[in-house]
Each structure stands twice: as structure tokens, then as C-alpha cells.
């Protein structure tokens, strides 16, 4: 276990008293903000001594300026009354200094998904800031699948998805449908708000389930204030609302800490094509001129290379810029893609971006994954309330390693060796490029134990990525009847565009006997 700085008994008592006071008695400072439902407030901790007290918890990670963060919270227009306190500040530090790569990735993806989220949140009169919840649930990955088999941007279990009208079968999983799953999530938010009447409790119940939250409320003596209830919650749920608050802050202030997106996913205007009956996706792509990658990106709920004969009213999204050509040639395109006898059952793509990106929710214990399924299971004895300061220590339980660069080292291999993201490694060492020199000392930050779900899932994603990168190059010799789409599916759902790029192909046509590089 990590050793903490030696402090006097008086100092330790003062720190503990301060932390508990900061967490439980922040409600006296309230700033009014614009509301969606109902008129609610922002609560900000007033203690100016926070900046001096935070470093007393052992932490190599530098800490953000408290006054700057507090001011940023006060300026954010919100309808959910989120507190800024020592626990939240610890997660702000986490997303700035320990995991800037996650913050960067969310900045890159949010422009694509947020307009859709905002549309449905407004439709159901929900607080706009709930759009940030999908970052914790899935890392803005519509194909994310949790350990408990919760699926999609909003991590629905199959029965709960069915309760909100999301179909799941061999060919289509609407929990991965960007729009339908978002609308289902809004209905679920509304249901939870009708039960608890408090948005912080809605967030907590989305993570742990309404049954577990009710039990925690009873154990706490029917307290319904989130921060008074905080010690009685499951440890992952104790981290969930502070993470939500911290990531919302980061999405509005990341640039002030030198974190910027690089490859931004821009929103794509779409049109909808109604499909009845069989459809071969690859043929549709070839004849319509719409790339397979665009179809996959806009329709992540499609699990196979075909839609079955019994499809009725399937809403296929295509880029709006391609709709004029499609509409002018609709009959020809659909006749070609819907010819009977051409149905080819292609194995479901494993294109889940190396698996799950879930921070705080749907872990193995029960989470929303179980109680969204209306289960009433308690998996941990929470009769004894946890100490809030213990959570802060765990968040900060980071150890510093130093690595001396040797001859033949390259930065990505060092990141691989220590199981960290290369972007984080560069950030920790203030490297502007990947160039390193023999004898150079590199700082590596690591945790003594996993403290939040984001750490587990980011590491799992990175391991999968490196497993792919370590493979020797694979080559496929084109056989009669092969297409780039069928080849891509054979090799784990690698995108057609990536195969084309690796092999310098300008079109989708391939010839028998042609040798294609598959994994670089």
C-alpha cells in the first residue's frame, strides 16, 4: 500500500474535519442558475483553504487551482444542483493530469453525438447536462458492451431495453441505435425523476439501480440529500456523481489545461431510408456509392452484413449529401440490394473499438446493468457507512515511477511496457513529439489499485489495441467471390477504408489472387 506523508495527530484531525465539513456542509452557498426542470441551484463549496488541504493527501498528481475551478463551476449554467467539493476536485485533477487521454477522446467524439442527445433531452424536457452521462456509461461508443452485457451509448440491459421499445435480435440491436437508445434513456430519466424527485439521486440510481438506492436511503435514516447519503452508497456509485460533475467541468474548460481534440468527429446530416425485407448492405453500398464505413457509423445497430427477409420499417440512415443520388436511382439500388437468393449470412462484426469504455457504471457488482433489469440484488453489505476521506485517498493513490530511456527504446513501446496511453505519457513528461533520447528520464504515473471504472476499461481497451499492434502482418489472398466487405468481416470487422488505405486501393474492386495486407 502507498505510504502517506507523516502528519501530526492534530493535523490529521483538522484535515479529516475539513474534508467532512467541506462535503457535508456546502449547501449554504447557493448560486441560482437557469433551469429546465424545476428551478434548481448550483452549490459551491466556499472553503478557501481547499487548495492547501488537498495536497496533504498523498498525491504525485499536481492539483488544479481551486479558485479557478470554483469560478468555472459558478459560471456554468446548469439545472442540476451539482456540488463542487474536495471529492469532485480530485476527479477534476484525475481527468486533467492522470487521464488527459480520456478527456481528449471525449472532446473528439462529443460533436457527433451531442446534437442528437440535445434534441431528445429537449423533447422530454430533461436537463441538458444529462448528455454528459453517456461519457461515463460508454465513453461515447454506441457498440460498448459491459461485463454484465449492458449495451450501447446508454448501457441498457436487454429486458430493460425491451421495456422502452428497443428491439434485439440476431440482425439488429437497437440498444446500439444512436437515436432510439437516446430516446429510451430520456424516458428512463423521466421515470427515475418521478421516483426520487432529485437529479443527483437520479444520477446515482442510474448507476446503482433504484432498488439499491432506496435501500441506501433507508440505511441512512431516510436522508434524501445525495452528499449526506454518499457514505451509504456502493463505492462505485460514490464515485459516479463526482465523476459526472468533473467530466462536465472538463468538457467546458479542457482547453484551459492544454487538452485539445485532434481528430474531431463532426456531426453528419442524415436522411432515412425505410427498408422492408431483405437487404444486402455491401451491395447497397456498392450501388449507391455510400461507403461501408459511413453506413456502419450511422447505423451501429446493424449486427450483420444483411437485413433479413422479415425486416419491416427498418430505418436505414444515410448521409444527406448522398440522398439526391439515391432518390434518383432508388428503384435500381433497392432492386440490386434486395434480390432474393443473394442473402449471405455474415458473422456479426466485433467492431466494438476493443471493447468497453465505461467509467463508473455497469460494473460486475450490480450497477444499472442489473437493477435496470428490475433485479433487487444486494451484493455488498453497506450497513456501515464509508468514510468520505477514504474515497479521496483512493482517488489520489498514485505512485510515481521513473524510467530511463535505453538504446533502441521508442515511446509507444515504453507506453506498452508500462500499460499506459502514449498521449498520457507525453503529457506527463511535457513532450511535444515522440522523440526521446538515451538517458532521458520519463515519469510514469500508476495506481496502487484501480479506483474508478474508467481506469479498468481504458486499460482493457489499450491492451486489446496493443495485442492487435503486436501481431505480425497478415495477408489475405483474394478468392473467387471475395469482396472488401466480406474480407473485412472475416478479419474481425476491420474497416473497408483501413484495408484500402493499407493496400493503396483507390476503389472497392479486388481481383482473384490479389494479396492484401490486413494487420499492420
Q: Are 446 and 420 in contact (CB under 8 A)?
A: yes
- Grid cell of 235 as nine digits: 463505492
Q: Residue 384 has what pLDDT?
A: 53
pLDDT number for residue 201: 95
What is the band of 455 on the pLDDT scale with cuts at 50, 70, 90?
Answer: low
Query: Closest Cα partner for 182 from 194, 165, 199?
Result: 165
- What is 317-360 written as a DSSP string? EEEGGGHHHHHHTHHHHHHHHT-TT-----PPP--STTS---SS
Short-list 394, 423, 372, CA closest to 87: 394
Q: Is the pLDDT of residue 252 over 90?
A: yes
The top-scoring range by mean pLDDT among 70-79, 215-224, 372-381 is: 215-224
Q: Is 230 left (phi over 0), alpha (psi -120 to 50) or beta?
A: alpha
Give the sign of the dihedral formed by CA 473, CA 479, CA 482, CA 486. Answer: negative
Helix (H, G, I), strand (E, B) or coil at 78: coil
- Report pLDDT for 398: 62
pTM: 0.67
Cell numbers standing for residue 452: 474508478
Split at pLDDT 50, 70, 90, the class of 476 is: confident
* Tens-digit pLDDT profile for residues 291-304: 999 999 999 999 98
pLDDT band at 406 (very low <50, low <70, confident <90, very high): confident
pLDDT above 80: residue 13: no
Residue 487's pLDDT band (boundaries 50, 70, 90)? confident
The length of the chain in residues reads 520
Give the highest mean pLDDT range of 48-57, 395-404, 415-424.
415-424
Give burial (CB, 10 Å; 0-12/13-18/19+) of 508.
middle
Span 91-115, pLDDT tens digits: 999 999 988 999 999 999 999 999 9
Long-range contacts of 251-256 (CB under 8 A, 24+ apart): 251/106, 251/107, 251/110, 251/132, 251/135, 252/72, 252/76, 253/72, 254/103, 254/104, 254/107, 256/68, 256/72
Mean pLDDT score across all residues of the chain: 76
pLDDT in tens, 23-47: 333 333 222 222 222 223 333 333 3
Instruction: Report pLDDT digits (tens) over 361-387.
Output: 333 333 444 344 443 333 344 445 555
Q: At what angle do helices 210-219 and 199-208 cross, to 10 degrees?
A: 120
According to DSSP, residue 390 is labeled H
Please, are residues 94 and 61 in contact by the beta-carbon 8 Å criterion?
yes
Report the percent of the chain where pLDDT is more than 70. 70
pLDDT at res. 512:
86
pLDDT in tens, 308-357: 999 999 999 999 999 999 999 999 999 999 874 343 333 223 333 333 32
Amino acid at each position: 500500500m502507498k505510504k502517506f506523508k507523516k502528519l501530526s495527530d492534530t493535523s490529521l484531525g483538522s484535515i479529516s474535519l475539513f474534508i467532512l465539513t467541506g462535503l457535508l456542509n456546502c449547501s449554504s452557498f447557493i448560486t441560482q442558475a437557469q433551469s429546465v426542470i424545476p428551478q434548481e441551484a448550483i452549490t459551491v463549496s466556499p472553503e478557501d483553504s481547499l487548495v492547501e488541504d488537498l495536497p496533504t493527501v498523498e498525491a504525485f498528481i499536481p492539483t488544479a487551482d481551486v479558485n479557478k475551478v470554483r469560478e468555472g463551476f459558478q459560471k456554468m449554467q446548469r439545472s442540476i444542483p451539482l456540488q463542487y467539493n474536495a471529492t469532485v476536485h480530485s476527479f477534476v485533477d484525475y481527468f486533467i493530469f492522470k487521464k488527459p487521454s480520456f478527456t481528449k477522446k471525449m472532446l473528439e467524439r462529443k460533436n457527433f453525438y451531442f446534437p442528437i442527445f440535445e434534441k431528445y433531452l429537449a423533447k422530454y424536457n430533461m436537463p441538458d447536462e444529462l448528455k454528459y452521462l453517456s461519457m461515463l456509461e460508454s465513453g461515447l461508443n454506441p457498440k460498448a458492451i459491459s461485463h454484465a452485457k449492458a449495451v450501447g451509448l446508454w448501457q441498457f440491459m436487454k429486458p430493460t431495453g425491451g421495456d422502452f421499445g428497443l428491439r434485439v435480435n440476431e440482425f439488429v440491436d437497437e440498444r446500439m441505435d444512436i437515436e432510439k437508445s437516446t430516446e429510451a434513456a430520456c424516458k428512463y430519466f423521466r421515470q427515475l425523476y418521478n421516483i426520487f424527485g432529485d437529479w443527483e439521486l437520479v444520477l446515482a440510481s442510474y448507476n446503482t439501480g433504484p432498488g439499491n438506492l432506496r435501500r441506501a436511503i433507508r440505511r441512512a435514516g431516510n436522508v434524501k440529500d445525495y452528499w449526506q447519503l454518499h457514505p451509504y452508497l456502493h463505492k462505485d456509485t460514490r464515485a459516479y456523481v463526482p465523476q459526472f460533475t468533473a467530466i462536465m467541468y472538463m468538457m467546458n474548460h479542457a482547453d484551459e489545461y492544454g487538452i485539445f481534440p485532434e481528430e474531431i468527429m463532426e456531426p453528419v446530416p442524415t436522411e432515412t431510408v425505410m427498408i422492408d425485407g431483405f437487404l444486402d448492405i455491401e451491395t447497397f453500398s456498392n450501388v449507391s456509392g455510400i461507403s461501408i464505413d459511413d453506413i456502419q457509423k450511422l447505423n451501429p445497430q446493424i449486427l450483420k452484413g444483411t437485413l433479413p427477409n422479415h425486416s419491416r420499417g427498418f430505418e436505414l440512415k444515410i448521409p444527406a449529401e448522398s440522398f439526391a443520388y439515391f432518390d434518383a436511382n432508388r428503384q435500381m439500388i433497392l432492386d440490386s440490394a434486395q434480390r432474393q437468393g443473394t442473402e449471405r449470412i455474415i458473422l456479426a462484426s466485433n467492431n466494438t473499438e476493443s471493447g468497453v469504455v465505461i467509467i463508473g457504471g455497469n460494473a460486475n457488482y450490480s450497477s444499472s446493468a442489473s437493477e435496470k433489469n428490475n433485479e433487487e440484488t444486494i451484493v455488498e453489505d453497506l450497513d456501515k457507512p464509508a468514510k468520505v476521506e477514504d474515497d479521496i485517498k483512493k482517488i489520489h493513490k498514485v505512485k510515481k515511477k521513473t524510467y530511463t530511456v535505453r538504446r533502441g527504446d521508442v515511446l509507444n513501446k515504453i507506453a506498452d511496457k508500462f500499460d499506459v496511453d502514449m498521449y498520457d505519457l507525453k503529457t506527463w513528461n511535457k513532450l511535444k513529439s515522440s522523440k526521446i533520447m538515451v538517458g532521458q528520464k520519463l515519469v510514469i504515473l500508476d495506481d496502487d489499485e484501480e479506483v474508478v471504472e474508467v481506469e479498468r476499461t481504458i486499460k482493457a481497451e489499450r491492451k486489446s489495441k496493443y495485442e492487435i499492434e503486436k501481431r505480425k502482418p497478415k495477408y489475405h489472398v483474394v478468392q473467387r467471390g471475395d469482396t472488401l466487405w466480406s474480407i473485412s468481416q472475416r478479419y474481425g470487422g476491420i474497416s473497408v477504408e483501413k484495408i484500402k488505405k493499407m493496400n493503396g486501393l483507390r476503389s472497392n474492386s479486388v481481383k482473384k489472387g490479389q494479396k492484401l495486407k490486413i494487420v499492420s
